[in-house]
Structure 1
Amino acid sequence: MHITFGLFLDTRQGPSPTNFFNTPIVGRLGFLSLLETYLGLSAPEASKARRVAIYSGLLRAHDNNSRFYSESLKADSIGTAARLLAWRDEWRLGGWDGSANPEHPSRIQELASIEKAALETLPPGEAERLHLVIQALSASGPGPIKSVHLVDPPEDFPLLWRQVLERLPAVEVRLPEPQGEGQLRALQEQALTVLAGGSAGNLTVQTDGSVLLVHALAATTAEHWLSAQHSHQPGDRLILAEDAGDSLDVSLSATGGVNCGFERPSQLRPALQALILALEMCWEPIDMNRLLDFLTHPVGPFSRPARGRLARAVAKQPGIGSEAWTAAKAKIAAGDDAQEVADEITFWLESERWSRTDGVPVDALIARVARMKEAMRLRLSGESADAASFTAAHSQCAAVHEALIELARQGLATVLPRQVEQLVAHATPAGATNPAAVSHVGCMRSTSTAAACIEAADEVIWWMPSTPALPSPLPWSPAEVNALTQLGVQLRDPARELVSLALKWLRPLLAARKRFIIVCPPPGSEVHPIRQLLKKLVPDIESASLDLDIALDSTLLGVTAEVLAPQPLPATPRHIQLPHPVQLGDALQSFTTLNELFNDAALFVLKRVAKLDPTSVLAVDEDNRLLGILAHRVLEKLFDYNDALSLSNSDAVAWFRAEADSLLLTEGAVLLMQGAGVTQQHFRKVCELAICSLLNHLRLAGAVQVQTEVELRGTLGAVPLIGKIDLLVTLGNKRTVAVDIKWRGDTYYAGLLRSGEHLQLALYSSLIEQTSGIAPAALGYFILESGGLYITAADIFPKAQVRRPPDGVTVSNLLDRARATWKWRKQQLDAGTIEVVPEEPNDEYQGPEGTLPVNGPSKWDRDHLILLGGWK
């Protein structure tokens, strides 16, 4: 077996022209796994989360409250353990045996005091695995390995890796060399000279086009150009894309090319988000946005249809236990797996929760992670395309489960939210890849790191190099570094790493045989050092660059794009003419539907006849709409109480305070969330003041009965009509008053009464008269925020503010005009004519004499208005 070994070759992608049997190309993890396999040392790899949990226990066990890490451990046990474990692992790779002398700095001594216990209990990391490999190689030899070809200098490897290489046969260093010809080779050699410390001689512009900079204002333009290049001029081409390879693959596929197979591991893959969302259900108060995410997420611990029903219930009434929630559970109970799903709902959503400041018991958290782990295991038997994602998710759950069991073994009683997040993060160090990110037949050779460009290609394209990741400085003081050196520890040298990194940046240039191209990132991005080096070597290189945005006006246009004649947006039509009548049938109409028909017939037809609904985005917001709904529910519950009218204001407020917590928990839990305290207190204060104000008005008026949400049916001429009245107040003389409740808007609603535009209340008056035979004595609006009551007649509510409509505007008059407006619109629709009314319509959109004014559509119907040509 002939091995090609490099520090960063684990990230290498295919296809490769030099792939042969028994000649693997591997990086550190790949080579270590291969050695363990042939030496009989293979074992399940311990998760980072478990190692961190164990090390945090060791730190606590050796903490005497005066260690250098004591305060950090109290504030952030998982984060502190992860950082110190990384120090310890780096020292071990450098040859540290766990010892320290009394004169050495305290931090080294304190970590050394832990190391003996760590060697006994801590699962092996890379250093411990390499120690076992070294022992096995010394005892049994290299096995089938015949030679090792290093593509990185030996001094770049940690000490333990160098000791491994010393025990392997025919180890040879073959650093990348210039592969180009002509002017390209001269540039490659000059670049090596500069990095070796030589002087930079100015080269002329590459007249043979062997080196090219490509500019574009947008990445999409460059992606289409590359696709066209590869389609029209196929060849041996290597593409290096460090950051945006997945986006490039999407464009290649969309333009008829083939995927290179760029993978971008991400912790945002749906399968890896499921666990952290599920664990968010532990906390009190529950975050309603996270609850909605948990219910709508594509991956969860129980069936998606059941979670979808509950999500719609939460969006309607944000809470757990509301009427909508109970109704959703009843529908779920009718399913085939009703009992199993019911148990899952109880476990995840209706069981005990814990304070974020006190933490969740470890045992409870272990049970939840175990359930999620089992749910992920069951998904592994699904589609093969999903196996990669769910394998990573199952491993994530298993790692967190192991870490929590270790913390429980150490006697830790509770875990805080930040610790949960850290454990999950350590369990998913790289994330999951996109299952669809696979290379296709005929694709370009590709890689995602410059260090993996070890094979020559006719053309090398470095895709949008920008901000590089530079070596981090050593986190230890000079005294600590000297002490570790005395102990025989060979630490990494950031200065040497920087030089090695610069040589790795040269590999794509050196690998090019005929042409080297840098596709520059859009303007404003940081200039990569390799581009600065090229400009230093070839000062006039920009003069021969290719600007794709300018080239689109040249012959290149026929390759990458076609000219499309600009098309103006169609004008909004005044009328839509159909060849047949619009049938309204005998559907019940309400004020809302009539208001839409009267003010914009096209909107009414889209919503009520065509039944087109905009895409629903489930959300829970603490907006005025929610506050108004909750306040309506408060009044509804209040007047369901038999003796509500006999309550004093103080008793009514006490009743509200006793009921408010339950109401908010089931229907307004968004107001219980962290950060919503101000809105919650405002809601409570408004409700208390509104209850007192309304009861005062009712007492002074001699009210004997108050009904809420009264649904009545009747007709408007021949039109069947339905309405739901917020408050129907019955006075001592059997007269009634219909009151509509609003959250705010004193000026607006008082203005409706004063101008005689209160059609909604007029319709309610008509329904009451048709039902009881007697029209209400007055109509009005009650505004919750101000506690103001605006009424149309005097001497009924003594403290109310009277707002009489203009002379000649009565309920009967409004109803007559409504019937005339219906007749006018009905005639239009019978003729197949649908009028499209703009916002703020002028006089030409008004109806015949005797109809209601046409005010145009509401801004809340923006989704439907766009269908009618509302391009702006």
Structure 2
Amino acid sequence: MHIIFGLGLDSRRGPSSENSFNEPTLGPMGLLGLLETYLGLARPEVSVARRVTGYLGHLRQHDDGERFYSESLHADSVGTAAKLLTWRDEWRLGGWTGSAPDDAPRRLRELAHVERTAQGDIAPGQAERLAVVEVKLATERTPIECVRLVDPVETFPLAWQKVLALLPGVGQWEAQPNGHGQLRALQELAGRAVHEGNLPGTLPSISDGSVTLVQATSRATAEHWLSAWRAHDEVDRLIVCESLGDAVDATLVATGGVSCGFESPSELRPALQAVGLALETVWTPIDTGRLVEFLLHSIGPFSRSARGRLAKAIGEQPGIGGEAWCTARQEIAATQNGEKTVEEVAFWLEGERWSRDAGAPVDALAVRVERLLEALQHRLTGDANLASIYVPAIEQCSAVLDGLAEFKRQGVPSLLPRQVEQLISHGTPTGSNPAAIAQIGCMRSAPAAGVCVEPADEVIWWMPSTPVLPQSLPWTAAEVQALQKLGVELRDPQRELSYLARQWLRPLLAARRHFVLVLPPPGAEEHPFRQLIQKLVPDLETSCINLDSEVNETYVGMLADPLARLAFPETPRVIELKTPIELPRDPQSYTSLTELFNHPALYAIKRVARLRPNSIISTEEDNRLLGTLAHRVLERLFAHADALAWTSQHALDWFRANIDILLQTEGAPLLTQGAGVSQQRFKTICESAMISLLDHLRSAGAVSVRTEVEFEGVLGNVPLTGKVDLVVELQGKRTIALDVKWTGDKRYAAMLSEGRHLQLALYSALIEQKEKLPPVALGYFIVESGALFTTAMDVFPAAQVRVPRSGVTVNELLQQARESWKWRASQWEAGQIEVVADEVLDEAQGPEGTLAVEGLGPWHFDHLVLLGGWEQ
């Protein structure tokens, strides 16, 4: 067996033009696994989460409050353990035996104390595994005949150097120029510059087309060029992409190409988000945003349709246990296997919760992970595609369970949210992106310059920019010196940096015929390799191809068929139809009438064509939520028949005793961390508004109040429906209709003053038709200010009276509404649907006797785009 071995080759991807039997290309973990297999040392893989939690236990065991890591351990236990474990593993790879003399620096001595109990107790890392392999190799042979090192042997940790010394035929591999002509000249010149450390000379230019620089102002433009270039010229091509390779793959696939298999961070994969969202259900207060993510996520522990119903309920009433939630629960129970699903809902969402400050019991967390693991395992049916999705998530759950089991073994009673998040992070497997598949016919690819160990006819280095440089040693000079005295060989960042420059040459040296450097968009940091070739070929940058300006030129224009540019259609003033249209005869509400009167085309889209935008379930705190909660407060208040007789203190006591339950079931966003100010403001406003409203009602002689009262009636011959927020009953069967708004004093006062209170007029008509008497007063109650605006002069002594300046009455408003209906109906009868934009309001006014046509708010933009409102 002939092995090619390098420090970065674990990340190397295929396909390879030189693959042959018994000649693998391996990185450290690949070769270690191979040696363990042939030496009979193979063992189940141990998760990082288990090793971190195991080491954390030993740190706590030795922590007396005075250790150098004590404060960090208290603030971030899992993160501290993970960092110190990396120190320990690096020392072990360098030859540390776990001891330290009494005169050693403090941190080294204290970690040596930890190592006395940790050694042999925590799961072995790479250093311990190599030590066992070294012992076995001294007496046993493997099928390996030779090993070619693509990195100098001195760059490997000491533990690896010892193992390599026991393998046969270990030799050095050197990258050699593979090009021809001027490309070859550049390769040789660049190699001399890096090895000699100075500029050996320059090339006047590269005129044979063997080296090309391209650049675009956006990554998307360059990605589309790459797709077209790949299809235009099929050659043996290698693409080197060190960042955002998944975006390149997405564009290649979208434009008819094939994916190279670049991976994005695995935490973004849906299957690997499931455990984090599942464990989010243990905390109080509820984070409704995360709760909705848990319910809408593609992978969850119970029925997706059931989770969808519950998500809609939370979107309507953000909380658990409210009316919408209970309705959804009943609907779930009525479905097939509904009772079992309801039990799952109760377990995951309605059970005990724990404070984010105190933490959740380890046992409770483990039970949830076990339930999720069981649900994921049930979804494995033998389908390879499903396996690629679920297996990484199953591995993640198993790793988290290992970590929780270790915590339990150590006697840790509970974990904080931050600790849970870190445990999940350490339990997340790498290389688990099922979408990152190298498809048949793809370009050869490399995720780093250092893994370009095979030549290719064309090499494309994709947007090298800010390089990842070797990290400096995190220890003091005294600590480094003490470790060296103990025989520990630490890495040399300066040597690593100098060697990194050689690795940056590999993409250039691998090119046989053509080397393409795709530069990042202007403004990005210049990569050292780019700076090098600028020095070697000063004229090269002037010939850089600008993909944006070359779209219609030979180099870029030949790659795709030109398309004629089409302008967006202009918004029509009137949609002309050949046949008459009948207005719907369904009961109309105030909202639907205002849409018809002010924007008939919008009404047609929503009420006739019944086109609706995708609904986005949101639980954010906004005025809509606050207004809904305020309505619910008043609804519950006046559910008490004697509420009008309560004193102000009685009302306040009732509110303070009940508001938290309302927020938990319908206003959970106000209970989340960071929402304390908003919550207190809401409560203060509601208290003040409630007392103000009770004072207004008592002063008017109210005897009872009905809330959310539904009425049916007609406007002329048009069926009409409406729900009045507050119907106040006075002596003598007199009534008052009030509409409750969260905010908007200026707006609603102006509507009354200008005679535009059509909503109140419609309520008046509905009440009169059902109860035979019109209300004696109409008004708007503003919760935020506690103000009451009305047109009645003698009903509410403390109200702010706004008499319409035009003198318009309720009956006149209703007559104008009837005329507006007739006007729009006549237009529809003629096959005309008017499109009203804000800029043509003056031209869009109706005939005399109709309501004024007013503009609509921005909340209709998603529909207006259908009518050509592109700039919206």
Identity %: 58
Aligned to 1:571: 570
1:368 equivalent to 2:390? Answer: no
**Matches of 2:814 and 2:197, distance apart in 1:** 95
Letter in 2 for 1:12: R
Letter paired with 2:104: H
Residue by residue, what CA displacement relative to the aligned partner does 1:407-435 show, whole Å, maximum 9, x if unpaired? 111111111111111111111263631x2
Indicate conservation of the 8 Å contact 1:360/1:416, yes or no.
yes
Show the 5 A alignment for 1:21-170. 21-141=21-141, 143-170=142-169
420-429 or 710-719: bigger deviation: 420-429
Residue 706 (1) aligns with residue 694 (2): no
Per-residue deviation, residues 189-232 of structure 1 (Å, max 9, x unmatched): 22222222254212221222222222222223322333333323
CA contact (8 A) 2:755 2:807 kept: no
Instruction: Name the aligned partner's letter for residue 345 of structure 1.
Output: V
The offset of 1:817, in angstroms, is 1.5
Contact 1:319 1:665 in 2 (8 A): yes
Where does residue 257 of structure 2 map in the other structure?
257
Deviates more, 1:245-254 or 1:760-769: 245-254
Aligned to 1:270: 270
Q: Which residue of 2 aligns with 1:793?
A: 792
Q: Which moved more, 1:11-20 or 1:322-331?
A: 11-20
Give, as a single letter, the amino acid of the residue that structure 2 aligns with 1:426. Answer: H
Maintained 8 Å contact 2:266/2:429: no
SS of 1:140's equivalent? coil
Q: Distance in 2 between matches of 1:677 and 1:371?
A: 34
Match of 1:745 in 2: 744
CA distance in 2, matches of 1:357, 1:703: 48
Partner residue in 1 for 2:335: 335
SS at match of 1:844: coil
Shift of 1:449: 1.2
For 1:813-828, what aligned pairs fall within 5 Å after superposition? 813-828=812-827
Instruction: List runs of 5+ in structure 2 lacking aligned partners.
Output: none
Are the counterparts in 1 of residues 590 and 722 from structure 2 also a CA contact under 8 Å?
yes
Does the aligned pair in 2 maintain the 1:782–1:789 contact within 8 Å? yes
Residue 164 of structure 1, CA deviation: 0.9
Q: What SS does the aligned partner of 2:139 have? A: helix
CA distance in 2: counterparts of 1:198 and 1:649, whole angstroms: 85
Distance change (3 Å), C-alpha of 1:397 and 1:701: same
Is residue 180–residue 513 contact of structure 2 (8 Å, CA) maintained in 1?
yes
Q: Partner of 1:351 in structure 2? A: 351
- Distance in 2 (CA, whole Å) between partners of 1:220 and 1:612 is 32
Q: Partners in 1 of 2:570 and 2:227 — Cα distance?
A: 37
Q: Match of 1:804?
A: 803
Instruction: Confirm or deny that 1:518 pairs with 2:517.
Output: yes
Contact 2:550 2:557 in 1 (8 A): no
Q: Between Structure 1 and Structure 2, how many residues are aligned?
A: 870
Shift of 1:807: 5.9
Aligned mates of 2:324, 2:656 — CA distance in 1: 23
Contact persistence 2:241–2:446 (CA under 8 A): yes
Retained in 2: the 8 A contact 1:840–1:856? no
Contact 1:700 1:797 in 2 (8 A): yes
Q: Which letter maps to 2:128?
A: E
CA deviations over 1:138-162 (Å, ceiling 9, x no partner): 1212x21121121111111111111
What does 1:307-346 correspond to in 2, within 5 Å?
307-346=307-346
2:557 aligned counterpart, secondary structure: helix
Summarize deviations over 1:536-574 as a string: whole Å, max 9, x none: 222222233322233324223432344444433222111
Change (3 A) 1:544 1:842: closer
The residue number in structure 1 matching 2:655 is 656
Moved more, 105-114 or 417-426: 105-114
1: distance between equivalents of 2:862 and 2:813? 30
The one-letter code sitting in structure 2 at the alignment partner of 1:469 is V
Does residue 591 of structure 2 align to residue 597 of structure 1? no
Give the residue type in structure 2 aligned to 1:753. L
C-alpha distance in 2, partners of 1:858/1:581? Answer: 29
The answer (yes or no) to whether the contact 1:238–1:457 under 8 Å persists in 2 is yes
Distance 1:87 1:306 in 2: 47
TM-superposed deviation, 1:530 = 0.9
- Counterpart for residue 186 of structure 2: 187
1:841 deviation in Å?
Answer: 4.0
The residue aligned with 2:405 is 405
CA–CA separation in structure 2 for the residues paired with 1:235 and 1:764: 75
d(CA) in 2 for partners of 1:216 and 1:470? 26
Instruction: Check 1:589–1:104 CA distance in 2 against 1; reply closer, same or farther (3 A cut).
Output: same
Query: CA–CA distance in 2 between the matches of 1:710 and 1:23?
Result: 81
SS at structure 2 position matched to 1:549: coil
Letter in 1 for 2:704: Q
Partner of 2:782 in structure 1? 783
When residues 638 and 177 of structure 1 are mapped into structure 2, their CA distance, relative to the original with a 3 A threshold, is same
Pair 558,535 (structure 1): closer, same or farther in 2 beyond 3 Å:
closer
Q: Deviation of residue 857 (structure 1)? A: 2.8
2:428 equivalent to 1:444: no
Match of 2:633 in 1: 634
Shift of 1:451: 1.2
Which amino acid is 1:94 matched to? G
Alignment of 1:338-487 (within 5 A): 338-381=338-381, 383-428=383-428, 430=430, 432-433=432-433, 435-487=434-486
Verify the 8 A CA contact 1:269 1:431 in the aligned structure 2.
no
Distance 1:265 1:650, change over 3 A: closer
In structure 2, relative to structure 1, the CA distance for the partners of 1:552 and 1:868 (3 Å cut) is closer
Q: Give me the CA root mean square deviation.
A: 1.6
| 1:620 matched residue in structure 2 | 619
Q: Secondary structure at the match of 2:789?
A: strand
Shift of 1:322: 0.7
Q: CA distance change for structure 1 residues 774 and 544 in 2, over 3 Å: closer, same or farther?
A: closer
Alpha-carbon deviation of 1:382?
6.3
With 662-671 and 389-398 compared, the bigger mean Cα shift is at 389-398
Counterpart for residue 507 of structure 2:
508
Alpha-carbon distance change, 83 to 429 in structure 1, aligned in 2, over 3 angstroms: farther
TM-score of the two chains, using structure 2 as the length reference: 0.97
Contact 2:395-2:429 within 8 A present in 1 as well: no
Q: Tell me if the contact between 2:51 and 2:122 (Cα under 8 Å) persists in the aligned partners.
A: yes
Secondary structure of 1:576's match?
Answer: strand
The answer to whether residue 642 in structure 2 is matched with residue 606 in structure 1 is no
Structure 1: which 5+ runs fail to align?
Answer: none
- Measure how far apart 1:442 and its partner are: 2.5
Equivalent positions of 1:164-313 (< 5 A) are 164-197=163-196, 199-200=198-199, 201-313=201-313
**Worse-superposed segment, 619-628 or 253-262:** 253-262
CA distance in 1 between counterparts of 2:637 and 2:549 reads 71
Contact 1:228–1:559 under 8 Å retained in 2: no
Q: Deviation at 1:340? A: 2.1
Quick one: structure 1 residues 859 and 127, their matched pair in 2 at CA, closer, same or farther if it must change by over 3 Å? same
SS of equivalent residue, structure 2 residue 627: helix
Query: For the structure 1 residues 727 and 224, does the alpha-carbon distance in structure 2 shift closer, same or farther, using more than 3 Å as the test?
Result: closer
Distance (whole Å) between structure 1 residues aligned to residue 415 and residue 51 of structure 2: 17
Counterparts in 2 of 1:680-699, with a 5 A limit? Answer: 680-699=679-698
TM-score, normalising length: structure 1 = 0.97
Q: CA deviation at 1:257?
A: 2.8
Change (3 A) 1:548 1:840: closer
Aligned to 1:586: 585
Following the alignment from structure 1 to structure 2, what is the Cα–Cα distance between the partners of residues 30 and 151? 15
